[in-house]
Structure 1
Amino acid sequence: MKKGPFFVKIWSNGQVMIPSYIRKKLNIQSGERVIVRTDGRTIQLMKNDSSTFENETIISSKGTVTIPSEIRNLCDIDVGEKLKIDWNEAMQKITFSLPDHMSTLSS
């Protein structure tokens, strides 16, 4: 198993790619809906156990997900920024955040 931290880049359409080994470990399939949550500093993706949720996105066959613009705006994330990706196997959750050194620069 690979050790973190992992980094991904946000594309112009708000997409980020979840590395394949994380998708496999968390058993996230192409076309599956995942819940998107934020606290204003981090973005969390979690498996969707219900049929509907306010902020959902779909994982593509290549592992990309689009982070909704409302969440990108709330977290003040710009196109081209690198995001740190952490995953929690026990909670079946992926978290994106600005790298520590970047978030302290903007404070």
Structure 2
Amino acid sequence: MQLTLTKSGQVYLPNCIRKELNLEAGDNIYIFVDNKAIILAKEACEKENQCILSNRGTLHIPVEIRRICKITSALKFNVIRNIEDKRIVLSKGEYETEG
């Protein structure tokens, strides 16, 4: 599965992903970088930025994370879902995708 980053730095999480990870509108989502991939986690981590999942299922990826990962607008991410850890990995193609 691939997700596209909008010009404003938002990414839409499809309903199937939100259901698998038990994400609802208003949930805090923690965002951090690991090996130049963006990790979205429901549980807090040590080095995180925080955002809130919107009613439409969108998240805003903070500009500092986009800079670290050298992300430009309209980039397509490969998605790996880790249901056990309640995490989503967004990569620019460094990882194999599943689902």
Structure 1 contact 40–74 (Cα < 8 Å) conserved = no
Structure 1 contact 40–75 (Cα < 8 Å) conserved = no
Gaps of 5+ in 1: 1-5, 101-107
Gaps of 5+ in 2: 95-99
Rg comparison, structure with higher value: 1
Q: TM-score, normalised by structure 1?
A: 0.80
Runs of 4+ with >2 A deviation: none
Deviations 1:15-71 (A, max 9, x none): 001111110111001011111010251000111358xx7500111111110110000
- Equivalent runs, 1:30-45 vs 2, <5 Å: 30-45=25-40
Distance across 2 between alignment mates of 1:40 and 1:69:
17
Q: TM-score, normalised by structure 2?
A: 0.86
Distance across 2 between alignment mates of 1:72 and 1:31:
22
One-letter identity of the residue aligned with 1:21? C
Secondary structure of residue in 2 paired with 1:77: coil
RMSD: 1.9
2:92 to 87, 91, 98: 98
Cα shift at 1:99 = 2.0
The corresponding residue for 2:80 is: 86
